Amino acid sequence: MTFHKKIGAWLIDYGYMVRGVLTMTIHRDPPKHYLGYTIDGKVPVVLIPGILGKWGFMKSLGDKISRRGHPVYIVPELGYNIYNIPTSAKTLRSLIVHIIPKRGHVPPKISRGAEAVRKLIEEEDLSGVVLVAHSKGGLIGKYLLAHHNIDNRVLGMVAIASPFSGSAMAKLIPHDSFKELRADSEIIQDLERHRKANERIISIIPEYDNHVWAERGSFLESAAENIEVPIHGHHKVLFDKKVLSLVLSAIEKISKLKFLE
């Protein structure tokens, strides 16, 4: 890919980033159909956005998943997703424990939306969760699978443009929130050691990712599947219609993986 094409890809991708930011600013609460429209047999899905992103950044994807009959949940406590990965994974774990039936009370800080999620899942008697994550969200999801999933409450994850091997770009940003995304960070090294969790993950990889600067991009060794898509852009990939369809197919694949039966 030539330098000029890369510059063009960056500009277009940041246009999509602005679109995502505007969407998450306008839509602070999830649509009612996220919890109000479900079809029997469809697994619950939890959205995990990337760094500095809220659930609304993934609204296009969440809407499509919801229209297929999956109950779609968000994690309000993640905020702008600037907490470190272990803390974020524990927050996510806390939500999942309390949206699965017969597991006690809801923690005090869980929002009304999460309470509605817990009530809905108890009523529907759901038994498992699939994570759908973008960027850093994929690292949070893998950490949960590796360290907080002994009881198999989470079936697996669809990760989109997630820097599983870290990103060289993180070295250019001095903020602490980005340090753990470096290829040599302790958390990236820890995640790479936990390869068993990879078998539960389908990784969707943009052909050119202007934020994941790593030799193999979002490729994940021993993953259930690595799917490269002809998209140029770390944020643009979330809005592509073909990718949205791939995510729906990936959710179905994860819910039917043999070792999860």
Q: What is the pTM of this model?
A: 0.83
Q: Which residues contact 250 (CB under 8 A, 6 or more apart)?
A: 158, 202, 204, 225, 227
Q: How many domains does the chain have?
A: 1
> What is the structure's pLDDT at 177?
59
DSSP category for residue 80? T
Residue carrying structure tokens 């990236």:
188
Question: Burial of 172 by CB count in 10 Å (0-12 exposed, 13-18 middle, 19+ buried)?
Answer: exposed
> What is the structure's pLDDT at 122?
42
Alpha carbons 51 and 49: distance in angstroms, whole number = 7
Beta pairing, strands 45-48 & 201-208: unpaired
Q: Domain range for residue 27?
A: 3-260
> What is the structure's pLDDT at 100?
55
Residues in the chain where the model's pLDDT stays below 50: 101-126, 261
Alpha carbons 247 and 160: distance in angstroms, whole number = 9
> What is the structure's pLDDT at 106?
35
Half-sphere exposure of 99 (CA within 13 A, CB side): 32
Q: Which two three-digit tokens encode residue 199? A: 């078998």
Query: Looking at residue 149, which CATH number applies to its domain?
Result: 3.40.50.1820
> What is the structure's pLDDT at 189?
86
Q: For 150, phi and psi rounded to 5 degrees? A: -60, -35
